[in-house]
């Protein structure tokens, strides 16, 4: 089916006071991404010709976040929050030259799926006005979809304005409303604020459309998809739903998880097939895990590229700029930041590798620290191919360890080391035979004297 082009309006001007936060509601994050960007992402499947986000005058930060993600979005300011209908009226001017369908969504419903929006778009091809409804477990507070005797949708009644009979209806308005371009101006101009809230309700367009003899239709979606986030508790519920979806998606793609409920994904996490993720792993933004890799228990990973068959953890922390090539091993209590670790290299125990380049098959011993920061600047440590860094060494950057070189355990390395050389930078060991015996007997004697 060829679809009529559409414009999308995302309403986001509400104050969100129930979040009890200084941050605008729609900037609160799900899987590390502001809610409003989830809504914007979902509508991309409609290939909208215009995208409008309606904000209130004090929402500069929202504007910044939205435009940084997508500079084709038009920001419209609603001077006062006089209702959802008023918010759409404010966007009307930006649509003066637009003749396609107009679809309105809420910025605080971040779980709407592309499939549902596509079904809705299909409905809009044959209807003048459409709405996405859902069966609410508890309909209190939602607008109810009212039908006539033949089942046609003739109105949406807001909870506060509904009669007792109407309140028994559990088919509710999700907030997504669509209008054909030819009817949009008429419908929007006809809205009034003559209701229990004294607000301009967008939902009134249904009754107006029905009275004009326009064709009104609805599709139904899952209640989960239209969860509106108004409180911190609802935010955590939305996060849980998102995470469950992400886990299911990963497993569908061939990722093995021992305890999926304990693994947390970011909105952009990419995990290829045949990756094993053990329990209690958290992925922050910007992670790509290649096939065959194993992420062992209790790892925290962000901004990292993990190569094929690499093994990470348990208890590893990978920070932004980490690139692990094929078959690299990063073990327990190891932190890596802004470092490239080449094929087959090992950093197995208790190390910090930051601002570094590690050559293929190098071995970094337990407790090795790259001293990358002098209090003002960060410096690079380069470790050559096949180099061997003895345990408990400090590599004071900037410093370069040549290919195949050895660093003796416990060294503090401040100067470059040539390839295949040995560097030992520690106090020389001195042994004094019999010293301990003499020391002990002297002290035992003194102690006796003191007691007498």
Q: Which residues are catalytic?
A: 349
Q: Which of residues 124-183 bind ligand UD1 (CB under 6 A)?
A: 142-143, 156, 158, 172-175
Contacts of 222 (CB under 8 A, 6+ apart): 116, 134
CA 355/CA 373 separation, integer angstroms = 9
Q: Which is nearer to Mg ion, 5 or 228 (CB)?
A: 228
Cα maximum dimension of the chain: 114
* Interaction between residue 359 and ligand UD1 (CB under 6 A): no
* Nearest to Mg ion of 134, 352 (CB atom): 134
Residue nearest ligand UD1, Cβ-based:
143
Return the residue of 76, 91, 108, 284 that touches ligand UD1, per CB under 6 A. Answer: 108
- Beta-carbon count within 10 A of 433 CB: 6
Interatomic CA distance for residues 47 and 109, integer angstroms: 19
Select the binding partner of residue 173 from ligand UD1, Mg ion, none (C-beta < 5 to 8 A, by kind). Answer: ligand UD1
Position among 106, 184, 264, 352 found at the interface with ligand UD1 (CB under 6 A): 106
Tell which one of 6, 7, 8, 14 touches ligand UD1 (CB under 6 A). Answer: 14
Residues of this chain that bind Mg ion (CB under 5 A)? 228
What binding mask, one character per residue, do residues 39-78 give for ligand UD1 by CB under 6 A, x or -?
---------------x-----------------------x
CA–CA gap between residue 371 and residue 368 (Å, rounded): 10
- The CB-of-219 to Mg ion minimum distance in angstroms stands at 20
Contact of residue 84 among Mg ion, ligand UD1, none (CB under 5-8 Å per partner type):
ligand UD1
Nearest distance in Å: CB 106, ligand UD1? 4
Cα(71)–Cα(413) distance, integer angstroms: 49
Cβ 268 to ligand UD1, closest distance in Å? 24
Can you tell me the distance from the alpha carbon of 398 to that of 355, in angstroms, rounded to the nearest whole number?
10
Enclosing H/E stretch for 452: none
Q: Which residues contact 238 (CB under 8 A, 6 or more apart)?
A: 30, 35, 110, 111, 227, 229
86 vs 127 by CB, closer to ligand UD1 = 86
Binding residue count for ligand UD1, defined by CB under 6 A: 27
Q: How far is the CB of 155 from ligand UD1 (least distance, A)?
A: 11
Q: Which of 134/352 has CB closer to ligand UD1?
A: 134
Give the span between the Cα atoms of 33 and 226, in whole angstroms. 18
| Angstrom distances, CA of residue 120 to CA of 93, 116, 236 | 24, 6, 27
In whole angstroms, the minimum distance from the beta carbon of 245 to ligand UD1 comes to: 20
Q: Considering only 100-108, 161-169, 351-359, 408-416, which stretch makes contact with ligand UD1 by CB under 6 A?
A: 100-108
In the complex, what is the shortest distance from the CB of residue 24 to ligand UD1, in angstroms, rounded to a whole number? 9
Structure tokens at 392: 């408990």
Which of Mg ion, ligand UD1, none is residue 13 near (CB under 5 to 8 Å by kind)?
ligand UD1
The entry of ligand UD1, Mg ion, none near residue 86 (CB within 5 to 8 angstroms by kind) is ligand UD1
Residues 6 or more apart whose CB falls under 8 angstroms from that of 410 comprise 390, 391, 392, 393, 426
* Span 200-259, contacts to ligand UD1 by CB under 6 A: 201-203, 228
**C-beta of 181 vs 228, nearer to ligand UD1:** 228
CA neighbor of 217 nearest in space, from 115, 145, 167, 157: 145
Rule CB under 6 A: say whether 87 interacts with ligand UD1: yes
Residues 6+ away with beta carbon under 8 Å from 332: 313, 314, 315, 316, 348, 349, 350
Query: Quick count: other Cβ atoms within 10 Å of Cβ 269?
Result: 22
Q: Which two tokens stand for residue 258?
A: 């021992």
Stretch that binds ligand UD1, among 63-71, 82-90, 110-118, 240-248 (CB under 6 A): 82-90
| Given 42, 59, 65, 83, the residue binding ligand UD1 (CB under 6 A) | 83
Surface-to-core class of residue 440, CB atoms within 10 Å of its CB (0-12 exposed, 13-18 middle, 19+ buried): exposed
Residues interacting with ligand UD1, by CB under 6 A? 11-14, 54, 78, 81-84, 86-87, 106-108, 142-143, 156, 158, 172-175, 201-203, 228
């Amino acid at each position: 089916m060829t679809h009529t082009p559409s414009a999308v309006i995302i309403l986001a001007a509400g104050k969100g006071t129930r979040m009890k936060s200084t941050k605008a509601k729609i900037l609160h994050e799900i899987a590390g991404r502001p809610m409003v960007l989830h809504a914007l992402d979902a509508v991309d499947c409609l290939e909208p010709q215009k995208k409008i986000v309606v904000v209130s005058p004090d929402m500069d930060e929202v504007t910044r976040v939205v435009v940084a993600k997508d500079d084709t979005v038009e920001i419209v300011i609603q001077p006062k929050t006089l209702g959802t209908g008023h918010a759409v009226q404010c966007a009307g001017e930006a649509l003066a030259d637009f003749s396609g369908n107009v679809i309105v969504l809420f910025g605080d419903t971040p779980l709407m799926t592309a499939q549902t929006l596509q079904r809705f778009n299909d409905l809009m091809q044959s209807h003048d006005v459409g709405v996405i409804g859902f069966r609410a477990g508890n309909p209190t507070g939602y607008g109810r979809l009212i039908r006539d005797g033949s089942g046609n949708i003739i109105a949406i009644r807001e909870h506060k304005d509904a009669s007792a009979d109407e309140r028994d209806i559990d088919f509710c308005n999700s907030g997504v409303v669509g209008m054909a371009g030819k009817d949009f101006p008429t419908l929007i101009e006809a809205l009034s604020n003559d209701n229990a809230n004294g607000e301009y309700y967008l939902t009134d367009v249904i009754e107006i459309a029905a009275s004009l003899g326009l064709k009104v239709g609805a599709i139904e979606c899952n209640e989960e998809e239209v969860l509106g986030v108004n409180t911190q508790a609802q935010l955590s519920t939305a996060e849980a739903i998102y995470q469950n979806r992400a886990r299911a998606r990963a497993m569908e793609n061939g990722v093995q998880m021992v305890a999926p409920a304990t693994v947390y994904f970011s909105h952009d996490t990419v995990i290829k097939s045949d990756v094993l993720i053990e329990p209690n792993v958290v992925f922050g933004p910007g992670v790509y895990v290649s096939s065959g890799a194993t992420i062992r228990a209790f790892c925290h990973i962000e901004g990292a590229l993990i190569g094929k068959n690499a093994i990470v953890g348990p208890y590893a922390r990978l920070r932004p700029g980490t690139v692990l090539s094929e078959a690299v091993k990063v073990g327990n209590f190891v932190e890596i930041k802004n470092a490239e670790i080449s094929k087959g290299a090992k950093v197995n125990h208790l190390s910090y590798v930051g601002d570094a380049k590690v050559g293929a098959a190098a071995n970094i011993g337990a407790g090795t620290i790259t001293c990358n920061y002098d209090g003002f600047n960060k410096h690079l440590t380069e470790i050559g191919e096949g180099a061997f860094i003895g345990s408990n060494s400090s590599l004071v950057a900037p410093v370069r360890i040549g290919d195949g070189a050895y660093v003796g355990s416990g060294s503090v390395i401040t100067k470059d080391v040539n390839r295949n050389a040995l560097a030992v930078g520690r106090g020389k060991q001195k042994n004094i035979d019999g010293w301990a015996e003499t020391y002990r007997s002297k002290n035992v004697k003194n102690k006796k004297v003191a007691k007498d």
